[in-house]
Each structure stands twice: as structure tokens, then as C-alpha cells.
């Protein structure tokens, strides 16, 4: 439209573009079609699974762009129900945020929508529908969106692991029990089959001596991961897309639903050795996710000599914490709620009644389900805010804000994030500048919690 030369990419098939035209490209085009598909998730011994997929694959294609480019994505809905695409973590204009009834009309079956926005930040992002989320993501609709920095930290290889899980029956069919009250009121729809890039994975090939940048995306409905790379010392260099001081995580890389981490791993294993990657978030049910499987060939003798460095910082506005207005955000509800213990018998009866009616969770005592949201907070454009979040429930919640990126000022490194994981009883303070006008969602990224009450919105004007 505005530029004569473009890099054109259809789906995942990025064909080679001459470096010159790439340098001049400002608009990058993609096509994304959401439709039923059949893919093999669990290996050839089992039947293929009927899923819903972007461009026929689970996860959808990895969309790659360069920082500052404009993405133009022609989205087609070939699902049997309405949908949208949300670009998780990207700071974009409100009309492109993909929340049905809040930022755009839902795209009906057979319909299309043109998403077009600039990507101001380099990092690891992802996309997924924002309609009927538990079912649509639970059937396989999600994919990674990587925005490349012009001067990335050194790595020999840059890989993405989209982590997720499925709840499958013995014939490898996705079970239809979406929206089950037990999942909603407890820890969400945790699947029984964990996938890495849409596969029950066994091995990930490594070469001694290489430095690997691994972008981890948790696209699961409800599963929280804590990954340990046995025999290796990954350094976290970015969280939710944004740079952090490189640091080791002996306790493991923790990812709640919606969250990302970029880690650098120096391949120090012996040729032909294997090392387990374990998820021990649920200690009693720790499992072996896959093996780092070393080839016999060696990439480099001895270690990489340059120290791991962080990516460049993204152009975020620094909140003025001393002057910020503070808002409280209390997460409530769910099974075994502390509020139940504090309640009088009469209140307890009311709470039970409310949960039976489907309002399992609350933000500031309000359970929001369905589509219409009067904003819970009104924020002045350009001003700084601190959200003081208290998880007054018996469960973990990865709380996600659309439209802004916040500093978690209650954590030592004060990382920039778009999603923060709160343990039962935990408090966190999130500081940000309300620099992006519009109505934005606030919700738990355990999709069954979101759909049974744990969502709200804020208006920046």
C-alpha cells in the first residue's frame, strides 16, 4: 500500500528474500486461517487427532518479523464458530487487539479480518484466539510470533519451544469436557499429554559447543511448567519478551500459562550423550519432558568465549512509581477459598450458590463472564499506575494485562512482564505507564478461570 517493496510470507513458508529488499521491507504480510485439521500429536502408533489449527498445523506457523516492521495479517475463520486473533504481549493499537465485543466484532465462520500493526518491541510473543478460549486453545489454536532485534545477543541457533498440553482419550481424541465446573473451580483444564511444538517430543538435537537461544512459550490452557535442564546451566535473558539481566535459575524456569522466557544454553554435554529436561512443577508428578540428545559431531571445541548478554531493552516508558496512583486488585473465589473459611454460614451459602451458577472467580468481588465489560478501572493516558494485586485464593493465577507492559516491582529484578504468576496468598505490585489508549482486558491466563469469572477490563483515555 504505502511501500512498493515488501517481504511477502505466506504461512510458515518464508521464502528467501534478497537481503537488500529485506532491509527495505517495512510491511510483512502473513495469511492465517483457523480451521479444523487432523494432525498426529502422539506418534505413529496412535491415530491422528482432530484439532483446530492455524494453517493446518499445531502450533500454527512461527511468524517472524523485524522490530519496527508493520505486520499485515489476513485472518480467515474457517471454524464452526466465531473467533478472533489476539497478539499476546504486543503493544499495538486497541482495534488490533483481537478481543471480541471489546475491541472488534467477532469474526464469524467464513469471515475474515485484516490485522495490521507495527511491532515496536523485539522479543518472543504469541498469538491465539480470544473467543471461547478454553475450547479454541485447548483444541490447538496458538502459535509463536518472534520479533527480531537488529543486534541480538550472540547465539549459534535460535529455536522456539511452544509448550502445551492436550486432554486426550485412548483413541487420541481431544476430550469434549470443556467448561467442566471442576476444572473451572480448581486448577483449570490440565491436559494429560504434554507437547513441545505440537508433538509428544522425545529428543531435541544438540551439538557440543554450540550456544542455543531457546524461546519458551507456555501456550497451555492451565499447565504451569518448571523446567530443569539436567547437566546444563541455562541463563534467562528475557521474560515475556523483554530483556532481563542474564541470570541462572537453579530452581528451574517457571512458566505459567501465557508466559515466555528466553534462555541461553551453552551445550556442554559430551558428544552422543543425552540429558533430561524435566518439569517438576508438581513435585509428586514430575515427568521427563524430553532429552537433549547430543550428536556425535562437535560444533566447537571448548566453550563460547563471549559472555552471554541480554537483548537490548525495548522502548518502554518508565513508570514514575513515587507519583503513581495505586489500585487494588483482589483475586477471589475458587475451590477451598480462604474467604470461605472467614465467612459466616450465611455468606458461605451465598458463595456456594454463586459458584453453582458458574461464577467461580472474582476480581474485586466481581465475576465477569461473557462479553460486556464496564471498565473496572479508568486510567489517564500518560499517567503512571501501580496495580497492587493480592491472590486471595487457594490456587495459582497467571494474571495478564493487555495493552501495557508492567514492571513487577515486588520482585528483586523488577522485570518487565505482561503476565505475572501469583501463588496462593501472594501479593505483587505492577507498575506501568498508561500510554496506550483503549479498553484493555485484565484476566487470568488459566483459560477456565478467565471464562468462569476472573476477568475485567480497564479503560485508558
Cβ of residue 171: shortest distance to ligand C2O, in angstroms? 30
Say if residue 430 is exposed, middle or buried (CB neighbours under 10 Å; 0-12, 13-18, 19+): buried
User: How many other CB atoms sit within 10 Å of the CB of residue 449?
Assistant: 33
| Omega of the bond leading into 60 within 30 degrees of 0 (cis) | no
Dist CA 71 CA 408 (whole Å):
29
Show the binding pattern over residues 114-133: x = contacts ligand C2O (CB under 6 A), - = does not: --------------x-x---
Which of Cu ion, ligand C2O, none binds 130 (CB below 5-8 Å, type-dependent)?
A: ligand C2O
Write the CB contacts of 372 (distance below 8 Å, at least 6 apart in sequence): 101
Please, which residue, 394 or 433, has the CB nearer to Cu ion? 394
Cβ of residue 380: shortest distance to Cu ion, in angstroms? 28
Query: Does 400 engage in binding with Cu ion (CB under 5 A)?
Result: no
Please, which residue, 294 or 440, has the CB nearer to ligand C2O? 440
Place of cell 518508565: 318
Residue 357 C-alpha cell reads as: 451458577
Dist CA 83 CA 182 (whole Å):
25
Query: Does 258 engage in binding with ligand C2O (CB under 6 A)?
Result: yes
Please, which residue, 259 or 265, has the CB nearer to ligand C2O? 259
Query: Does 91 engage in binding with ligand C2O (CB under 6 A)?
Result: no
Please, which residue, 187 or 266, has the CB nearer to Cu ion? 187
Dist CA 79 CA 43 (whole Å):
25
Q: H helices of 44-131, where?
A: none
Which of ligand C2O, Cu ion, none binds 373 (CB below 5-8 Å, type-dependent)?
A: none
Query: Does 444 engage in binding with Cu ion (CB under 5 A)?
Result: yes
Place of cell 502473513: 30
Please, which residue, 260 or 443, has the CB nearer to Cu ion? 443
Q: Is the Cβ–Cβ distance between 163 and 224 less than 8 Å? A: no
Q: Which of 446, 456, 458, 460 binds Cu ion (CB under 5 A)?
A: 446
Please, which residue, 27 or 90, has the CB nearer to ligand C2O? 90
Q: Is the Cβ–Cβ distance between 365 and 332 less than 8 Å? A: yes
Please, which residue, 25 or 32, has the CB nearer to ligand C2O? 32
Interface of this chain with ligand C2O, residues 395 to 454, rule: CB under 6 A? 400, 402, 441, 443, 445
Please, which residue, 143 or 256, has the CB nearer to Cu ion? 256
Query: Does 449 engage in binding with Cu ion (CB under 5 A)?
Result: yes
Q: H helices of 324-436, where?
A: 338-342, 345-356
Which of Cu ion, ligand C2O, none binds 88 (CB below 5-8 Å, type-dependent)?
A: ligand C2O
Closest CA to 391 of 348, 354, 420, 416: 420
Dist CA 179 CA 126 (whole Å):
24
Q: Is the Cβ–Cβ distance between 153 and 311 less than 8 Å? A: yes
Query: Does 135 engage in binding with ligand C2O (CB under 6 A)?
Result: no
Please, which residue, 402 or 417, has the CB nearer to ligand C2O? 402
Which of Cu ion, ligand C2O, none binds 91 (CB below 5-8 Å, type-dependent)?
A: none
What are the CA-CA distances from residue 428 to residues 267, 390, 396 (Å)? 35, 7, 13
Write the CB contacts of 45 (distance below 8 Å, at least 6 apart in sequence): none
User: How many other CB atoms sit within 10 Å of the CB of residue 108?
Assistant: 12
Cβ of residue 128: shortest distance to ligand C2O, in angstroms? 6
Which of Cu ion, ligand C2O, none binds 217 (CB below 5-8 Å, type-dependent)?
A: none
Q: Which of 66, 86, 242, 407 binds ligand C2O (CB under 6 A)?
A: 86
Which of Cu ion, ligand C2O, none binds 417 (CB below 5-8 Å, type-dependent)?
A: none
Binding site for Cu ion (CB under 5 A): 397, 444, 446, 449
Binding site for ligand C2O (CB under 6 A): 86, 88, 128, 130, 258, 400, 402, 441, 443, 445
Amino acid at each position: 500500500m504505502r511501500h512498493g517493496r515488501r517481504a511477502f510470507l505466506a504461512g510458515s513458508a518464508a521464502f528467501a528474500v534478497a537481503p537488500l529488499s529485506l532491509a527495505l521491507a517495512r510491511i510483512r504480510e502473513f495469511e492465517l486461517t483457523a480451521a479444523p485439521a487432523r494432525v498426529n500429536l502422539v506418534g505413529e502408533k496412535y491415530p491422528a487427532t482432530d484439532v483446530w489449527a492455524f494453517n493446518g498445523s499445531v502450533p500454527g506457523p512461527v511468524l517472524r518479523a523485524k522490530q519496527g516492521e508493520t505486520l499485515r495479517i489476513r485472518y480467515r475463520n474457517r471454524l464452526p464458530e466465531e473467533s478472533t486473533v489476539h497478539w499476546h504481549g504486543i503493544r499495538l493499537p486497541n482495534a488490533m487487539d483481537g478481543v471480541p465485543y471489546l475491541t472488534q466484532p467477532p469474526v464469524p465462520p467464513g469471515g475474515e479480518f485484516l490485522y495490521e500493526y507495527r511491532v515496536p518491541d523485539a522479543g518472543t510473543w504469541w498469538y491465539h484466539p480470544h473467543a471461547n478460549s478454553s475450547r479454541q486453545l485447548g483444541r490447538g489454536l496458538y502459535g509463536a510470533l518472534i520479533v527480531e532485534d537488529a543486534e541480538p545477543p550472540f547465539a549459534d541457533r535460535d529455536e522456539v519451544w511452544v509448550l502445551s498440553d492436550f486432554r486426550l482419550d485412548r483413541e487420541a481424541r481431544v476430550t469434549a469436557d470443556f467448561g467442566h465446573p471442576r476444572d473451572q473451580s480448581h486448577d483449570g483444564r490440565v491436559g494429560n499429554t504434554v507437547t513441545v511444538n505440537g508433538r509428544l517430543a522425545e529428543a531435541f538435537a544438540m551439538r557440543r559447543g554450540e550456544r542455543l537461544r531457546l524461546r519458551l512459550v507456555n501456550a497451555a490452557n492451565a499447565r504451569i511448567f518448571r523446567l530443569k535442564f539436567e547437566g546444563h546451566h541455562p541463563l534467562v535473558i528475557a521474560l515475556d519478551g523483554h530483556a532481563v539481566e542474564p541470570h541462572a535459575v537453579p530452581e528451574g524456569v517457571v512458566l505459567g500459562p501465557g508466559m515466555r522466557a528466553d534462555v541461553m544454553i551453552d551445550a556442554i554435554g559430551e558428544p552422543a550423550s543425552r540429558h533430561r529436561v524435566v518439569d517438576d512443577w508438581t513435585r509428586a508428578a514430575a515427568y521427563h519432558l524430553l532429552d537433549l540428545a547430543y550428536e556425535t559431531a562437535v560444533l566447537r571445541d571448548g566453550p563460547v568465549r563471549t559472555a552471554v548478554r541480554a537483548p537490548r531493552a525495548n522502548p518502554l516508558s518508565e513508570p514514575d512509581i513515587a507519583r503513581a496512583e495505586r489500585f487494588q486488585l483482589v483475586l477471589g473465589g475458587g475451590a477451598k477459598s480462604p474467604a470461605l473459611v472467614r465467612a459466616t454460614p450465611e455468606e458461605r451459602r451465598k458463595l456456594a450458590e454463586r459458584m453453582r451458577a458458574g461464577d467461580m472467580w472474582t476480581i474485586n468481588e466481581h465475576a465477569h463472564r461473557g462479553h460486556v465489560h464496564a471498565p473496572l478501572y479508568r486510567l489517564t493516558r500518560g499517567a503512571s499506575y501501580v496495580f497492587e494485586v493480592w491472590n486471595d485464593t487457594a490456587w495459582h493465577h497467571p494474571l495478564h494485562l493487555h495493552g501495557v507492559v508492567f514492571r513487577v516491582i515486588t520482585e528483586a529484578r523488577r522485570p518487565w512482564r505482561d503476565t505475572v504468576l501469583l501463588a496462593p496468598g501472594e501479593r505483587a505490585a505492577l507498575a506501568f505507564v498508561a500510554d496506550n489508549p483503549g479498553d484493555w482486558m485484565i484476566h487470568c491466563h488459566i483459560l477456565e478461570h478467565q471464562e468462569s469469572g476472573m476477568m475485567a477490563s480497564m479503560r485508558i483515555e
